[in-house]
Amino acid sequence: MCTDETRVVEEVFRRAGFEQADAYRYNSASIRVRVIDSRFEGRSVEERDAMVELHLRTLPERTQADIINLFTFAPSELEGTEKTLRAALLNLEFEDPSPSGL
């Protein structure tokens, strides 16, 4: 569910220059975030996390604590033949989440 809080998360990443940022509240205790940017191309998960972590810190502590899933993708990982199994499965869970137990 899109909320004022998740819109703020998206705006923080957009203002930071990331090409696409999507966020939604999965349940009362969890926010999921997906950031797509060509600068992630060829970078490890750790490098990508470092690129977004600085911007996460600008969010209210409560919002930070609720971000349970943060997916970072290069555009090529979500397109055509370049799509990896890992990227495909993570993106599928973001697009069509499994039911929440809460």
CATH number where 61 lies: 3.30.300.90
* Predicted local confidence at residue 97, as pLDDT: 79
Distance CA 38, CA 19 (A): 8
The number of distinct structural domains making up the chain is: 1
Residue 102 lies in a domain: no
Q: Nearest to residue 21, comparing CAs of 55, 12, 65, 4? A: 12
Residue 27 lies in a domain: yes
pLDDT tens digit at each of 102 positions of the chain? 889 999 999 999 999 999 999 999 999 999 999 999 999 999 999 999 999 999 999 999 999 999 999 999 999 888 765 556 677 777 777 777 777 775
Residue 69 lies in a domain: yes
For residue 17, how far is the Cα from the chain centroid? 14
**What is the domain extent for residue 45?**
4-95
* Predicted local confidence at residue 78, as pLDDT: 84
